[in-house]
A and B are shown apart, each in its own frame.
Chain A
Amino acid sequence: AQKITQTQPGMFVQEKEAVTLDCTYDTSDPSYGLFWYKQPSSGEMIFLIYQGSYDQQNATEGRYSLNFQKARKSANLVISASQLGDSAMYFCAMLLGGIGKSTFGDGTTLTVKP
């Protein structure tokens, strides 16, 4: 069975500092994609970054980078230079290659302090 584990229910970070949100995954399928989404209090899910299981390099999108450690089955999100607007719930998700099923973790609430 596929599973995503986010062990940090809540995280605090000072404005302008970097923060790492943890995500571990479990699957026996060799082809998968890993995603991070941001969900503000308004409820809409916002796509942040993607990492494919065969990608050799870690993905980066602006201030977001994904620290992909395949052997450890981890896909941590790093947010650099945190901003007050980064305060939200963050979800890690996995999409299997051959099946249309996505699995989400339970999320991490990030609070950026001024």
Chain B
Amino acid sequence: ETGVTQSPTHLIKTRGQQVTLRCSSQSGHNTVSWYQQALGQGPQFIFQYYREEENGRGNFPPRFSGLQFPNYSSELNVNALELDDSALYLCASRTGGNYGYTFGSGTRLTVV
């Protein structure tokens, strides 16, 4: 098992730009979720993918979009960045059942 790997670890972008965050799921995990965690708060669910299909979405605007690839790796894309998008973005994968998510260490995005 290699765990969940996210890249990059830190990123600084300018308001209005677009960003792509990447996640490599733990081996054998076919479900991946993305979360946004603002400083001092709990993670907020963005969306989840199961076998390349989105099967759940939180209260985030359409400029937050994602992809899951056949090898179960995933991307989070954010268009037209706003200052409030500054946060820690966490990727998590799981196999289902009574197992919790395995989280990556996150990507710290700062929008200036």
Interface size class on chain B is: 20 to 34
**Interface majority SS (helix, strand, loop, mixed), chain A:** strand
* Nearest CB of A to B11, in Å: 14
* Nearest CB of A to B58, in Å: 6
Contact between A50 and B103 (Cβ–Cβ < 8 Å)? no
Q: A33 CA to B40 CA in the complex, in Å? A: 24
Known: A37-B100, A44-B106. A99 touches B44 (CB 8 A): no
* Nearest CB of B to A99, in Å: 5
Contact between A104 and B44 (Cβ–Cβ < 8 Å)? yes
Count A-B pairs with CB separation below 8 Å: 67
* Residues on A with beta carbons closer than 8 Å to the beta carbon of B103: 37, 44-47
Interface positions of A from 69 to 114, Cβ below 8 Å from B: 91, 93, 99-107
Q: A101 CA to B35 CA in the complex, in Å? A: 10
Contact of A44 among B41, B45, B100, B104 (CB under 8 A): B104
* Residues on B with beta carbons closer than 8 Å to the beta carbon of A99: 55-56
Interfacial residues, chain A to chain B (CB-CB below 8 A): 4, 33, 35, 37, 42-50, 52, 91, 93, 99-107
Interfacial residues, chain B to chain A (CB-CB below 8 A): 31, 33, 35, 40-45, 47-48, 50, 55-58, 88, 90, 92, 98-106
7 closest A-B pairs by beta carbon, nearest first, are A100-B56, A47-B100, A100-B48, A104-B42, A45-B103, A100-B55, A101-B56
